[in-house]
Structure formats: C-alpha cells, structure tokens
Structure 1
C-alpha cells in the first residue's frame, strides 16, 4: 500500500496513504504508522501559538466549498517520537487540527492536516491540489462561530526540504495552513512531497 506523511514544523506532520496502488509489503505491517513514515513537527525556534489563543474556542468543523470538502475536525498532538500525529486511516475523511499550533482565527499559524488517500480509498484532502488562490475556507469553532480564510497561495515541497519556518514560523496574522501528501512515489511506495495551502483570515 502506498503511504505518505506530511511534513510541517515541529519536525513532521501528517501521514497519508494512497490506496490506489497497494503494496503487500506495507499492508503486511499491519499499522498505518509503520507503513507511512514520519512527518516533521515544529522544532525549537519555530513559534507555537500565542498564549492568548489557548483559551480560544477550538475548531470542530471545516468546509472548502469550491472543493466540496465538508469535515468534522479532530485534535492531533505529537507521537512519542515527536512527530505530529495524523488522523487514523479509518478516519480518512476527517481533518485533524494540530493542537501545538494556533487556534484557527487567532494570531499565528493554525495547521489542519488531512489524508490524500488511505487504504480505504480517497480521503478528505484528495482534491486539495485543485484549490485556487482566493478560495474560501470556513472553520467553525465549538461555540458555533464560523471564521473565514482566503487562500493566498499553495506549494508542493519535498519532505526532505520541508519549509518549516514558512509553515510554522511566528506571525501576527491569523493564518491557516492545510497539509496533505503529494508528488511521485519513492522506492518504498511513499509519496515524496507534501502539498501545503496557505490562507489568511478574510
């Protein structure tokens, strides 16, 4: 089974799989994490969310109308090895919010992670590469408030040269990043790149 991880600041970020071309050797490992690899998390020197955001209402739902994305949001932390958690494969249609970053709508970079594909098929961010500049992203918090972001640009980055500072670096803007897998596959069947979408509160 093809699998991939998403890199972001701490040192690594999400994992995703591509169920379209299963690899028996990966499937035989039994767990998604064993097959996917690692996604970096933000390291020392990258900014975490401002303390004021810790009391802000966490996100519970995200929509991208132009792509038909309409998903609940689950919370993601860090794995024991300090890589960022990703949604489990059986929740491939659910977006995850990295709780070590900003709360969406608060100053700083808020990071949402989603799979491209899993062993169960197409996942929530499968069509993220089709997003266009200016597209609307709406995030609803657990108090029912909806916050809108406008896409500013997107990039595909090698997981070996992940733009940690750009993704997780300190900013006073109310920023949002969406991350998934992208690119061709390496010899082990893992996508070599991450797709990163950048947006700011509108």
Structure 2
C-alpha cells in the first residue's frame, strides 16, 4: 500500500493560459514536454468522498482517505485542505480484467479524460527542493501536476500535489514542495472551498 499526503484544487473550464504558461516555465524541467493523455474510469459512489475506485491503464486502483489534515496556506494566493490517502493497486497479468469495455455499459462508472503535465520533485535534507528527471527511486518525493479534465463533455482543470516517502516526512514533503512551487505563482487565487480530492469532485459534477 502506498501512503500519500495530497493537496488539490478543481475549477470549471479550461486551464487559464497564464497558469498553464507559469506551470510550463516554472515547474517543469522541460517546458516543452508533451503532456500525458489518458482516460480514467471512476466508480461513482454518491456521498462517499473518502474512497475512490478507478480503472486506469489496465489496472484497478483503490484509494482510501485515512485522515483530513490541516488547512495549509502558501502566500496570499493559495489555501487548501491536505488529506492523507492509502492506495492499493490491482493488476491482471492476463489483461482480461480491469478493461474499460467491462464497465462502459454500467452507469455507475464515469469516464474522465485527462491531459496532464507533471513534475517529480525531491525534498533535500536542507529543505531545498529540486526537480528530478526520470522515475528514479528517491527519498522524500513530491509530484506536482496540472491537469485538463473532461467529464460529460464539460471541461475542468486541476492543480495538485502528491507527496510520498516516510510517514513522518509526508507533511513536510508536501508543504516544502508547495511553498517552493507557489513562490513564483501569480495566477488567480486558489481557495480552500475549491480544495478536495477526486471522489468529492465527482460528487459535485456527476449527479
């Protein structure tokens, strides 16, 4: 099981151009890197924002919220609610299970199209933050991402942080990385009312 501390915001519409440009120029090692495009299928569970179940690229992912953490603030433009999650991954080596075709006729599963830019960071012992090239195994990692979403033909966008590592370091990894990232942020305000995880977002937009 993977344990993470996470922080996300969701907004309707497409990613504002100034925020997209800021992310590409200030958060990515390669500002010209191509985004990842994929479709995730979520199991819609009304009133259950503490658990997320989805099919992603031939595997089943189950996430369970273990704790709602502190309200965190980064300067005057970003305030959100951090949460602690546990994730289980289920794979089928035969490739017969966990395929979109097995659930697409079921109205309880909802398709979310994603175009995602992401960058992995490492928090160093001196509390500085550096971007990491590749998917090497590092201590105190935190991924920052900005994602264009489409659900029921409606566009949304999200910015988020996902910190992992030793349990005692999770919150420090999240806050240190986010503080460094938001040091250059000058976009529209990211408020606590718009800060939640994917299961809560689905409950708002898929009714």
What TM-score, normalized to structure 2?
Answer: 0.28
Greater share of residues in strand = 2
Higher relative contact order (CA 8 A, sep 6+): 2
